[in-house]
Amino acid sequence: MKLTVIGCGYLGATHAACMAELGHDVLGVDVNPDKVARLSSGEVPFFEPGLGDILRRNISAGGLSFTTEADAAAAHGSVHFIGVGTPQRARGHAADTSYVESAVDALVPHLRGDHLIVGKSTVPVGTAASLARRISTLTAPDATVDLAWNPEFLREGYAVEDTLRPDRLVIGTDPDSDARAARAVLRDVYREIIDTGLPVIETDWSTAELVKVSANAFLATKISFINAISELCEIVGADVSTLADAIGHDKRIGRRFLNAGLGFGGGCLPKDIRAFEARAEELGAHGALRFLREVDTINMRRRSAMVELIAQVCPRELLGANIAVLGAAFKPESDDVRDSPALSVAGQLALRGASVTVFDPKANANSQRMYPMLGYADSAAEAAQDADVVAIATEWAQFVHMAPSELDPVVRSRVIVDGRRCLDPQSWRRAGWSYAALGGAVAT
């Protein structure tokens, strides 16, 4: 099938490449000429394992190309995915849907014949209904344009796998009209994946929009739940990691997303829970999602708790101390530093007068743009040169498997703070290090 994907950021570029991988003829559209040029030459503008390979393979095979021209999208095919960003507004917590609206404004007037627009962006509930009204005012007399909402659940770092082997497919359509045609088109697009036995949930626009934000809100709540419990564990000397293992064995709870530590960041969970609560208030569901504020508060508190823990174990005053922060990305296997807990900790330490040196295997360049006042190193050992404290802020495998002997010769004090509870405390303690984990004791 001939598909277009409008918006070639994280979501759109991945979707475009993966749809081409499924055998479709895909045209990616983005207003940013630099992004289009890089993608066209087979370069992924961000770090995402495996994406470069499928991008280049499908460009060479002729099934994937990119353009800045909206009218080219209209001429290319009849199914148009919208994967543009919906960032938090500059003021307040609501989501800014203006890029989604601009995408529709740029595309729809060029359409002739029958088309289906498929929203993939994370949007406040009610967006599809208002977009449908917008679409109908822009549609030419000789065109019919249908709208479906098909949220995306991919995780950064696993974007290709999550797109090609998702847990479920959600298709939301107009509740007031016959949705059979739109559903059939999307079933055709995803045929190869659906045939593997994938659950397909066919529903209305609002439910589809809500599924996405509810899933992210639930995941955020799980993380803040375990982090709140860790605050208690810290006081009584209990081990929150063992506790998470124990409650996680209950299948109703599950062990995933119960890793206590520095908490969640990135371009999705923090902004999505804020926008979700704001939307609930707007719709008159006063107080229904107020608990998400607490989820947010618990999460933000982890960052200052990490700074306090570092201050506590640091053999000298923070003012003038050398702190190595290992990790800058909001999570491993990503170079994304948006709302990164690691960088928030590094920034707070610097504001308290510490001399902070950061090392991240992939995110140094992005961090440097955002936090130019921090020091940057090209390896963990270089960051740890003369360090009074080494702090693990992102659980990259290379930090998890790092031997204390790699840092022994360079540090000023053998003090390590594990903000992600990912190290083996025994091996560090045996090597003569003082080991402290955010969230309290680690079982020995």
Binding site for ligand UGA (CB under 6 A): 122, 152-156, 216, 219, 223, 257-259, 261, 263-266, 268-269, 330-331
Q: What is the closest distance, in whole angstroms, from the C-beta atom of residue 212 to ligand UGA in the complex?
A: 7
- Least distance in angstroms from the C-beta of 118 to ligand UGA: 16
- Give the nearer residue to ligand UGA in terms of CB position, either 47 or 330: 330
Cα gap 107→110, rounded to integer Å? 6
How far apart are alpha carbons 372 and 419 in whole angstroms? Answer: 23
Q: Which residues contact 15 (CB under 8 A, 6 or more apart)?
A: 5, 81, 83, 120, 152, 163
Distant-in-sequence, close-in-space partners of 191: CB < 8 Å, separation ≥ 6: none
Encoded amino acid at 345, one letter = V
Distance in Å, CB of 280 to ligand UGA, minimum: 18
Cα separation, 311 vs 326, in Å, equals 16
Kindly state the smallest distance separating residue 265's Cβ from ligand UGA, in Å. Answer: 4
Query: Tokens at residue 280, please?
Result: 């609930």
| Residue number, 10 or 205, with CB nearest to ligand UGA | 10
If the CB atoms of residues 117 and 213 are measured against ligand UGA, the closer one turns out to be: 213
How far is C-alpha 142 from the geometric centre of its chain's CA atoms? 40
User: Closest approach of Cβ 25 to ligand UGA, in Å?
Assistant: 26
Six-digit token pair at 177?
Answer: 């009209």
Got the DSSP string for 138-181?
A: H--TTEEEEEEE----PPTTSHHHHHHS-S-EEEEE-TTS--HH
- Catalytic residue annotation: 268
Q: Could you tell me the smallest distance in angstroms from the CB atom of residue 266 to ligand UGA?
A: 4
Least CB distance to ligand UGA at residue 263 (A)? 5
Residue (67 or 216) nearer to ligand UGA, CB: 216
In the complex, least distance from residue 186 CB atom to ligand UGA, rounded to whole angstroms: 18
Give least dist CB 183 to ligand UGA, A: 22
Of 28 and 419, the one with the shorter C-beta distance to ligand UGA is 419
Residues 157/333, Cβ–Cβ less than 8 Å: yes
Exposure string for 312-345, b = 16+ CB within 10 A, e = fewer: ebbeeebeebbbbbbbbbbbbbbbbbbbbbbbbb
Q: Calculate the alpha carbon distances from 49 to 54, 156, 196, 347, 419 in Å.
A: 10, 9, 23, 28, 24
- Of 159 and 407, nearer to ligand UGA (C-beta) is 159
Q: Which is nearer to ligand UGA, 257 or 291 (CB)?
A: 257
**For ligand UGA, which is the closer residue by CB, 338 or 414?**
338
Residue labelled with tokens 């928030």? 344
How many angstroms separate the CA atoms of 90 and 106, rounded? Answer: 24
Compute the distance between CA of residue 394 and CA of residue 79 in angstroms, rounded to an integer. Answer: 39
Rounded CA-CA distance 285/296 in Å is 19
Select from 262, 285, 405, 272 the least CA-distant residue to 345. 262
Using DSSP's 3-state secondary structure scheme, residue 327 falls into coil
| Cβ-contact 330, 340 below 8 angstroms | yes
Which of 135, 437 has the CB closer to ligand UGA? 437
Q: Measure the CA–CA gap between 325 and 390, rounded to whole angstroms.
A: 6
